[in-house]
Chain A
């Protein structure tokens, strides 16, 4: 199995899907020359008709993506920064998500919105947000957020083949990672709506979202040194959410911490926490812990940014708290 970085895995998925289906095309700002590397080689291979730079008009090109999908194409729109989706909320939330429903099933909108997200690069409050919880609120949208190279490739391929609008969330710090992982070759897709147990353990469950999976696995490793075995679960798909896999783990561990980069209030963790207590309240031995961005905009200054964001240390502290163990 070849070893790929996160960026290489995404890139390979795009190459394979565009080669497989000529209805797939990509558009967005700077996609032909993509300095993130995800779109490398696509413009040369598939031409500028199918790898289409757009003007700076997120509403315009996302809306055009919806229209092309209505007319039978499979557009992938690249939003560049999750913060820019605010300009594209009408085509995403009002149109893509609802057209099939409002039109009584007359058509579907098979569009993928690729959404690089996240902080940690000192880009500040309008270039570092994690708004995935917003999209989970919208019926008609699927929301995916892979944390590693194999899931990135498998889920992106699944997203392109899905007949519904998919918010496909990536993270810029995952782009920067040089570590390579085994990634299945060829026609391998990762099923949408199925969580993955990234590490097994019996003492506490950690649910980690997207880029925060790295902090969760580091925390689990450190805690294992103290004899605390954590089970680390990656939902991968936030909508639909695989509640079953999470609650099966909580039945075993009776303790849970949820870790996300979005803001705490009404976040992904709030939804997962509610789902857990509804399903397995009697199994819980402690309140569910949540680690998320503090309720402040993301600051630029390195020290302040670190203070606001989740970290391995914060995850360790939250697990200790749920176990009632002092540091």
Chain B
């Protein structure tokens, strides 16, 4: 498994730490709001997986695309999606990114190159191939990254999309967050290989497995995969071994049903924020500076979302056709 090297600037590392903290605090806030009955619909938080979002998106340009999953808040935030409008979307407010009609599982901010969270597992991968095809036809060097999980790597959509991207050399990075479980079913049981990245061999594309709790390792693997795509050499498959500290969704305990306490504690010890703090030898003052800045953003998001109105009923019949 690829580990990080020390070639990263402290500035870049601090930026990625800030992104991870922003995600962590947003997810905690979303969970609080859910428990307070203020969230409309389901929420799947990505706490524990922040290094994946932050590391990948730090390797992208603003005009590159991401497509994400039902567990997509982190990717959205890392790609620059606005927190107030995002929280408002979760809370069913008309000021939400999707005018309250998409909810947590369909967050999108197209103006930031975020082409949507897609709640049908695997569905985003053929779409990413199509966005990559558009970029190739345009003759521009933009790249599309598609996030998916270990579960989606067993879906036909993954294989069809990988093959299309490989034969047409499309600028797409397949980024698999292997968080070990598809809801309750372990990857160990459902998946024919130990490292999902080896599946790239079937498509004659590069594949790499990295430590998904190490943001520097994720960044470096992503930078390579993105550069490969940008040079017109086609897709790559990056697998990050990671873990969600929460259940699949609320109502699913952190451990005790299909995950043991020992396993959970083992991964908690690799908390990507703590790993990063140690790598940067962060002082209490450093941490407080990050925390204060993020808290201000979270407060602003809460105020905006809480004070925003619900939609009029007529909104239900808008945005169906262009």
Report the minimum CB–CB distance from B80 to chain A (whole Å): 15
Task: Give a binary string over B122-146; 1 marks a CB under 8 Å from any A CB, 0 the rest.
Answer: 0101111111111101000000100
B100-139 contacts to A (CB < 8 Å):
100-102, 106, 108-111, 115-116, 118, 120, 123, 125-135, 137
A90 at the interface (CB under 8 A from B): yes
B131 touches A68 (CB 8 A): yes
Q: Are A100 and B106 in contact (CB under 8 A)?
A: no
Contact of B120 among A49, A90, A104, A139 (CB under 8 A): A90
**5 more A-B contacts (CB under 8 A) besides A68-B133, A100-B321?**
A67-B129, A95-B120, A102-B101, A103-B102, A106-B98
> How far does the Cβ of A233 sit from chain B's closest Cβ, in whole Å?
24
A158 to B134 CA separation, bound complex (whole angstroms): 22
Please measure, in the bound complex, the distance between the C-alpha atom of A139 and the C-alpha atom of B317, giving whole angstroms. Answer: 10
B125 surroundings in chain A (CB, below 8 A): 63
Q: Is B65 an interface residue (CB 8 A)?
A: yes
Q: Please tell me if the beta carbons of A164 and B321 are within 8 angstroms of each other in the complex.
A: yes
A residues adjacent to B (C-beta < 8 A): 25, 49-50, 54-55, 57, 59-73, 75, 90-91, 94-95, 99-108, 110, 139-140, 142, 163-164
User: B161: which A residues are within 8 A, CB to CB?
Assistant: 60, 63-64
Report chain A residues within 8 Å CB of B123: 63, 90-91, 94-95
Taken together as a complex, chains A and B put the C-alpha atoms of A65 and B127 apart, in Å, by: 7
Q: Which residues of B contact A110 (CB under 8 A)?
A: 322
**Do the beta carbons of B126 and A66 come within 8 Å of each other?**
yes
Which A-B residue pairs are the 5 nearest by beta carbons? A67-B130, A63-B126, A60-B160, A104-B99, A71-B134
Report A-chain residues with C-beta under 8 Å of the C-beta of B97: 103-104, 106
Complex Cα distance A50/B144, Å? Answer: 20
Question: Taking A57-B163, A71-B130 as contacts, is the C-beta distance between A100 and B319 under 8 angstroms?
Answer: yes
Q: Which of A54, A69, A71, A139 contacts B320 (CB 8 A)?
A: A139
**Are B163 and A67 in contact, CB atoms less than 8 angstroms apart?**
no
Residues of A within 8 A of B109 (CB): 106
Question: Quick check: B102 and A104 within 8 Å, CB to CB?
Answer: yes
Q: Given the interface contacts A49-B137, A54-B164, A71-B65, does A102 sit within 8 Å of B131 by beta carbon?
A: no
Q: Is B2 an interface residue (CB 8 A)?
A: no
Smallest CB–CB gap between A191 and chain B, Å?
Answer: 15
Instruction: Tell me whether A104 and B98 are in contact (CB under 8 A).
Output: yes
Chain A residues positioned under 8 Å from B144 (CB to CB): 67
Min CB gap B30→A, angstroms: 19
The smallest C-beta distance from A161 to any residue of chain B, in angstroms, reads 12
Separation of A298 and B126 alpha carbons in the complex (Å): 32
Shortest distance in angstroms between B220's beta carbon and chain A's nearest beta carbon? 27
Bitwise, B199-215 to A at CB < 8 A (1) or not (0) is 00000000000000000
Residues from chain B with Cβ under 8 Å of A139 in the complex = 320
Interface contact A61-B164, CB-CB below 8 Å: yes
In the bound assembly, the distance between CA atoms of A100 and B318 in angstroms comes to 10
A72 CA / B102 CA spacing, docked (Å):
21
A66 near B98 with CB under 8 A, answer: no
Complex contact B319–A67 (CB within 8 A): no
What are 15 pairs between A and B in contact, CB < 8 Å? A49-B137, A59-B156, A64-B127, A67-B127, A67-B134, A69-B130, A71-B115, A73-B134, A101-B320, A102-B98, A102-B101, A105-B318, A107-B110, A142-B321, A163-B321
Q: In B186-229, which residues have CB < 8 Å from any A CB?
A: none
In the complex, the answer to whether B110 meets A101 with C-beta atoms within 8 Å is: no
B289 within 8 A of A: no
The yes or no answer to B279 lying at the interface (CB within 8 A) is no
B118 and A95: CB pair below 8 A? yes
Judge whether A57 and B98 touch: CB under 8 Å: no
The CA-CA distance from A53 to B89 in the complex, in Å, is 40
**What residues of chain A lie closer than 8 Å to B74, measured between beta carbons?**
none
Contact (Cβ within 8 A) A59 B157: yes
Q: Which residue of B lies closest to A103 (CB)?
A: B108
Cβ contact within 8 Å between B321 and A70? no
B55 interface hit (Cβ, 8 Å): no
Bound Cα distance A140, B322 (Å): 9
A65 to B228 CA separation, bound complex (whole angstroms): 24
Assembled-state Cα–Cα distance A65/B130 (Å)? 6
Instruction: Tell whether A61 pairs with B126 under 8 Å between CB atoms, given A103-B110, A140-B321.
Output: yes
Q: Does B48 contact A (CB under 8 A)?
A: no
Contact A70 B131 (CB under 8 A): yes
A91 in contact with B320 (CB, 8 Å): no
- A108 and B98 contacting across the interface, CB-CB below 8 Å: no
